[in-house]
A and B are shown apart, each in its own frame.
Chain A
Amino acid sequence: MYRLTGVTKRYSRGKETVEALRGVDLTIEDGDQLVIQGPTGGGKSTLLQMIGGLDRPTEGSVELDGVDLARISEAKLTRVRAEQIGIIFQSFNLIPTLTAQENVETALVPLGVKPAERRERAAEALSSVGLGERLSHAPSELSGGQQQRVAIARALVKKPKVLLADEPTGNLDEGTRDDIMGLLEGLWREYGLTFIMVTHDSSIARRAPRLATIKAGQITLTEQSFVQY
C-alpha cells in the first residue's frame, strides 16, 4: 500500500523556484488501478517519480508498505526499485544495442539472477506479451507497439508489486494504444499488481476506476466506473 503525506517538490530554475507538487496526500491500496491525469507541467510525472522512488520529495513522506521512500538510503531505494517496482516509459526507453530478450534481461541483472535463468525468464515474459518470435530483434527492428510490449515484458519479468506507466501510449497510434492498454489491464488483473499510470489522454482516463487529477501541483481524486479495454 502506498501512503503519500504532504508531498511537496520544489525545483530551482535559475533564480526562480518552481513548486511541482504542493502538499499532496494520496493513498493507493494494493491491487488498485489509479490514473493520474492533468495538463502539461501540472506535476503528473513528478508525482510518478515520487511514487516510483526515482526522486525524493522536498517535503513530506512516501510510504510503500510502511517504508518511507523519501528517507531511506540510496542503496535501499535502488533495491526497492529493483525488486518491487516495474516502470514503463512513454518513449519505451529500450537499450538500442541490446536485443528484445537482452532488454528484458536488464531488469533481472540487479537481482543477481544467473544468465541461463535470466534468458529463460526473459523469453517467457516476451512470449506472454505476444513477442515470442522476436527475441533476437533489436529495438530498431520492432514497431512502436512491439517496443512497448518489450518494455512491458521488462517491467513485469521480475514480478513486481507495483507497475508504473508514464504515458505508455503517448507515442502510439489509436489502434496500438488500445492493444497496449488491453494488455496492461489484463496483466494488472492477472498478477494483482498495483497499477499507476500517468496520461493526458482523456479517453484512457475516463475508463479508470480511480482518477487523480493534478493541476498546479495539487491533486483531486475521483472514483469512477471502470470500463475494461
Chain B
Amino acid sequence: MFGIYLKRELGRRKKAALVIALGLALGIALVITVNSVSAGMTQAQGKVLKSLYGLGTDMTVTKAQSAPKAGSSQGPNFKFDAKSSKKTTQSSDRVMTQGGQALSSSLVTKVAKQNGVESAVGAITLNVTKVDGSFTQGKAKSSTSSSGSGSGSGSQQQGGPGGGTGNSSSGGQPQVQGGGASFNVNSYSVAGIDIGNQELGPLATSKITSGKTFTSSQTSAKVAVISKSYAKSKKYKVGSTFKISGTKFTVIGIATPDSSESTTDVFVPLKPAQTLGDSKNKVTTIYVKATDSQQIATVKKTIQKNISGTTVTTSADLASTVSGSLSTASNLATSVGKWLSIAVLAAAFLVAALLTSSAVSRRVREFGTLKALGWPSRKVTRQVVGESMVNGLLGGALGIGLGLAAAYAVTAISPKLTAQLGSSGGGGGMVGGMGGPGGGPGQQSTSNTMEIALSAPVSLTTIALAVGLAVTGGLIAGAMGGWRASRMRPADALRSVS
C-alpha cells in the first residue's frame, strides 16, 4: 500500500513534485559545479606550484640578496671594441646568479641532517645574457674628405648610425660620420643541478623526451639538457653544441616540462654551472623533501631555528603569492561560489519544505480519514516523508545530471587562466632560473606568468555530497510535512469540507 499510495500521490501532484525537484536540482547542480570548478582550480594551482617548485619538493631554503654597496652596480657590464668593418661580429656573455644570495654547498649537508628531512639537494640558478653583433668605427671626414675615428660603446639597445663626437666646419674641419652598432640581446636561464639526485630539484618537473639525462659520471662534464621550448627556438637537438661564456656544451637530452611552461631553459651539472657563475662550492637554492608531508610546517621551523640567516619557503607560502586570473577565479569560486550555492540550496530546501507542508494541509481530510480508520500517526508520517524523499532523490538525480553537464562543459571549453607568481629575489624561494635580465642595485624582483587550462573534475566525494544533499532536502521537507500530518486529529476528517 505504501508504494502504490506514494506513486499515485506523486502522479497526482506532478507539477508540485517537479517544482520541488527542480528547485533541489538547481541547488545541487550549483554545489557540484562550484565544487568541481574549485577542485579544478586547486589542481591548476598545484600544477603551477609544482612546475615552479619541483616535484617532490616540500620546501626550499634560500638567502635574501644583500643590499649592494653605494656606488656599485650589480647589473651586467659589456665591453666591445669598435671595428673597422661591419662584417666583424663580436659576442659577449654575462652570467649572473639568480634567486638570491649564494649559499655554501656545505649547508646542503647541514639541512639534510635536520629532523624530519628525508633528503636535500642544492642547485644554482644562473641568468645568461648574451650580446652579439657588430660595432663599427665612424670615419672622420673634412668637408671634402674626412677621416677620423670614433668609438662606439656597447649599449643595450639596437643602434643606428651615430657614434662619437666630432665637430664640423666649412673650413675643412673633420666630422665623424658612419659607424654604429647593430646587436642582439639574448637572455636565458641555466640551472646547475645535483645529478646524483635528479628526483628533487628543477629537473624533477620535466620528463626527458629525447636523448637521455645526466649520468653519475658527468658531474663535471660540459653536457646539457635543454627544455623543449628553448630547443625549438634555438633549433637545438641531441648532439648540438653551444657556448656559454666561451665554454662549449653538448646537448645530451631534451626535457619536456609537466606543466605548460618551463622556467629553466638549460640544465647542466652543478660544478660547471658553479664555474660559469664564478660561484665555486655555492648554491642559490636548497630543495628539501620532508619525511612526512603532514609535518612540513614543523620541519620548516626546525630548519629556520638551526640554520640562521636563511629563508625557508613552503608550498603553502608560495601559494599565497599566486596572482592573476587563476587566483581571482579561485577566490571567487571559494567565496562567492560557495556562499551562492549555500544560499540557493537553503532556498530550495525551504521551498521544498513549504510546498510539502502546504500539500499536507490540503490533505487534512485524507489523513484525518486514514487516522479515523485506525492508521497510527507514524504510518501517515511515513507516507509523507516517503513522498518527500522521492522528490528529493528525483531532485538529486536531476541536479547530478545538470552538475555533471556543467562540469563537463567547463572541462570541454577549458578556459585559459593565468597564474602569476611574484616575489623578491632570495626572499621567496624562487627556483628554476626564473626572471629576466639581471636587475639593478637592490633586490631583484622576479615573476613568472603561466597559462593554465581550467578543468572541472567531478570526484566521487562530490557525487556523494550531492546525494547526501538530496536526501537531506527530502528529509527536511518530509519532516516539516510529517510533523503537520502527525498533529492532525481524526476529528478533522469529519469537520473538513472539500
Given contacts A45-B494, A48-B494, A93-B493, A102 and B1 within 8 Å (CB-CB): yes
B366 touches A110 (CB 8 A): no
User: Which residues of the other chain, B, contact A74 by a CB distance below 8 angstroms?
Assistant: 377
Whether A55 is near chain B, meaning CB under 8 Å from some CB there, is yes
Given contacts A95-B5, A95-B366, A154 and B373 within 8 Å (CB-CB): yes
Whether B235 is near chain A, meaning CB under 8 Å from some CB there, is no
**Interface centre among A87, A93, A154, by most B CB within 10 Å?**
A93
User: Which residues of the other chain, A, contact B498 by a CB distance below 8 angstroms?
Assistant: 91
Q: Which residue of A lies closest to B375 (CB)?
A: A110
Question: How many of chain A's residues have a CB under 8 angstroms from any CB in B?
Answer: 34
- Among A72-106, those with CB < 8 Å from B are 74-75, 78-79, 81-83, 85, 87, 89, 91, 93, 95-98, 102, 105-106
The docked-state distance in angstroms from the alpha carbon of A110 to that of B378 is 11
User: Which residues of the other chain, B, contact A212 by a CB distance below 8 angstroms?
Assistant: none
When each residue 446-470 of chain B gets 1 if its CB lies under 8 Å from chain A and 0 otherwise, what string results? 0000000000000000000000000
Question: How many of chain B's residues have a CB under 8 angstroms from any CB in A?
Answer: 27
User: Which residues of the other chain, A, contact B8 by a CB distance below 8 angstroms?
Assistant: 97-98
Point out the residue from B374, B491, B497 that lies within 8 Å of A83, measured CB to CB: B374
Whether B351 is near chain A, meaning CB under 8 Å from some CB there, is no
Given contacts A54-B490, A106-B1, A109-B379, A97 and B373 within 8 Å (CB-CB): no
B372 to chain A minimum Cβ distance, whole angstroms, is 5
A87 touches B373 (CB 8 A): yes
User: Which residues of the other chain, B, contact A89 by a CB distance below 8 angstroms?
Assistant: 369, 493-494
The docked-state distance in angstroms from the alpha carbon of A74 to that of B12 is 31
A97 touches B5 (CB 8 A): yes
B12 touches A81 (CB 8 A): no
Whether B172 is near chain A, meaning CB under 8 Å from some CB there, is no
User: Which residues of the other chain, B, contact A105 by a CB distance below 8 angstroms?
Assistant: 1
Point out the residue from A45, A78, A93, A107 that lies within 8 Å of B365, measured CB to CB: A93
User: Which residues of the other chain, A, contact B415 by a CB distance below 8 angstroms?
Assistant: none
User: Which residues of the other chain, B, contact A5 by a CB distance below 8 angstroms?
Assistant: none
B337 to chain A minimum Cβ distance, whole angstroms, is 41
The docked-state distance in angstroms from the alpha carbon of A78 to that of B373 is 8
User: Which residues of the other chain, A, contact B497 by a CB distance below 8 angstroms?
Assistant: 91
The docked-state distance in angstroms from the alpha carbon of A173 to that of B374 is 30
Whether B234 is near chain A, meaning CB under 8 Å from some CB there, is no
**Interface centre among B4, B369, B493, by most A CB within 10 Å?**
B369
Whether B9 is near chain A, meaning CB under 8 Å from some CB there, is yes
B45 to chain A minimum Cβ distance, whole angstroms, is 54
Whether B495 is near chain A, meaning CB under 8 Å from some CB there, is yes
B11 touches A110 (CB 8 A): no
A98 touches B5 (CB 8 A): yes
Whether B208 is near chain A, meaning CB under 8 Å from some CB there, is no
User: Which residues of the other chain, A, contact B491 by a CB distance below 8 angstroms?
Assistant: 49, 54-55
User: Which residues of the other chain, B, contact A42 by a CB distance below 8 angstroms?
Assistant: none
Q: Can you name 17 extra interface pairs (CB under 8 A) apart from A54-B494, A78-B377? A: A49-B494, A54-B489, A54-B491, A55-B490, A78-B376, A81-B374, A82-B373, A91-B498, A93-B369, A95-B369, A95-B370, A97-B8, A102-B4, A109-B1, A115-B1, A154-B373, A166-B494
Which residues of B are at the interface with A, using a C-beta cutoff of 8 A? 1, 4-5, 8-9, 11-12, 365-366, 369-377, 379, 489-491, 493-495, 497-498
